[in-house]
C-alpha cells in the first residue's frame, strides 16, 4: 500500500498561525519535503521547526533559480521543470515504499505555491490530501489592521510583474487590491496607483506576521527592489457605515 502525499499550508510566517491539523500532521509523518533558496533554511521549514517529531526524514529541494532569470525565459522554465521532476521522483519513491510525506508550502498550497507542480505530477499515482493554510495576504491585512472589503466590494489579487498598461487596467476594474510579486516593480506599481488616486491609502507590508515585519504607508517607502515577502494592500470602500 502506498503512502499519502499530504500538502500542508504553513501559513504566512508566524508559527502560531498554522492550523491545528497541520501541527498534528507534522508531529506524526515520517518524512517532510520542502523547497528552499540555496543557502537558506527555507521559510516553510522554519515555521515547521517546533512541530516536527524527532527523527523525521527531511527532503530538501533547492531552487536552481529564483529571480536571476525572467520566468518567461526558456532557461528558467527548463531549470524549474527539472527541479520539480527531481522532487517528484524523490517523493514518489518514499510514497511507493508506503511512507506518508508532508510537503510544506508557505501560505496556502493552491495559491501561487510550488507544491502545485508536485501535486500535478503525482496526483494520478498516489493518494493525496491538501491542508489549507492562512494566506500571506490575510496575515498582512490583519496585522496592518486594514479592513479590505465592505458590502459588495470586489477584491483582486494582482501580480506587480504585469506590464504597466495591464496593471492599470486590472486595478481600474476592482475596488480593493492586493498587489504581490513586487520585487523590482515597486516604482511601476506606485506610478499606477498614483495615476488612479489610490497611492495615499495604499499600505506597504514587508514580512507580514514575522518578527521583523514592517508596515508603512506606501508613500513612506522609497523606490527600489522590494524583498520577496512584501506586498501592497489597497483597501476598498472607505468610511464607516
- 124-144 pLDDT per residue, tens: 999 999 999 999 999 999 999
**CA 213 – CA 166 distance, rounded (Å):** 30
What would the mean pLDDT of 146-164 be, rounded to a whole number?
95
pLDDT at 5 over 90: yes
pLDDT score at 72: 66
Superfamily name with CATH number, domain 137-234: Tetrapyrrole methylase, C-terminal domain (3.30.950.10)
For residue 62, give the 3-state DSSP assignment. Answer: strand
What would the mean pLDDT of 108-122 be, rounded to a whole number?
94
Kindly report the number of other CB atoms within 10 A of residue 29's CB atom: 22
Match 517523493 to its residue by C-alpha cell: 91
Higher-scoring residue by pLDDT: 122, 113: 122
What predicted TM-score, i.e. pTM, was given to this entire model? Answer: 0.89
What ranges do the domains of the chain cover?
5-134, 137-234
Topology adopted by domain 5-134: Cobalt-precorrin-4 Transmethylase; domain 1 (3.40.1010)
* Percent of the chain predicted with pLDDT > 90: 83
pLDDT score at 238: 72
C-alpha grid cell, residue 70? 525572467
| 165 close to 136: Cβ distance less than 8 angstroms | no
What pairs with residue 158 in β-bridges? 179
**CA 189 – CA 85 distance, rounded (Å):** 34
pLDDT score at 169: 98
pLDDT score at 77: 83
Question: Edge-to-edge, what's the strand order for the sheet holding 31-37?
Answer: 57-63, 31-37, 101-105, 5-9, 128-131
Amino acid at each position: 500500500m502506498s503512502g499519502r502525499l499530504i500538502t500542508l499550508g504553513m501559513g504566512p510566517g508566524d508559527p502560531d498561525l498554522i492550523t491545528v491539523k497541520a501541527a498534528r500532521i507534522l508531529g506524526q509523518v515520517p518524512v517532510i519535503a520542502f523547497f528552499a533558496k540555496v543557502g537558506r533554511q527555507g521559510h516553510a521549514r522554519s515555521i515547521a521547526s517546533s512541530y516536527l517529531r524527532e527523527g523525521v526524514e527531511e527532503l530538501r529541494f533547492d531552487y536552481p533559480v529564483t529571480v536571476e532569470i525572467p520566468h518567461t525565459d526558456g532557461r528558467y522554465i527548463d531549470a524549474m521543470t527539472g527541479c520539480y521532476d527531481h522532487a517528484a521522483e524523490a517523493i514518489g519513491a518514499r510514497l511507493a515504499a508506503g511512507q506518508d510525506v508532508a510537503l510544506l508550502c508557505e501560505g496556502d498550497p493552491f495559491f501561487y505555491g510550488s507544491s502545485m507542480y508536485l501535486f500535478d505530477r503525482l496526483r494520478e499515482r498516489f493518494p493525496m490530501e491538501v491542508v489549507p493554510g492562512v494566506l500571506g495576504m490575510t496575515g498582512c491585512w490583519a496585522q496592518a489592521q486594514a479592513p479590505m472589503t465592505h458590502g459588495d466590494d470586489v477584491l483582486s489579487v494582482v501580480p506587480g510583474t504585469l506590464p504597466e498598461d495591464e496593471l492599470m487596467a486590472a486595478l481600474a476594474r476592482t475596488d480593493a487590491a492586493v498587489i504581490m510579486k513586487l520585487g523590482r516593480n515597486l516604482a511601476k506599481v506606485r506610478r499606477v496607483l498614483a495615476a488612479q488616486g489610490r497611492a495615499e491609502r495604499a499600505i506597504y507590508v514587508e514580512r507580514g506576521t514575522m518578527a521583523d515585519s514592517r508596515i508603512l504607508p506606501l508613500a513612506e517607502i522609497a523606490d527600489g527592489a522590494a524583498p520577496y515577502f512584501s506586498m501592497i494592500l489597497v483597501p476598498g470602500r472607505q468610511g464607516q457605515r
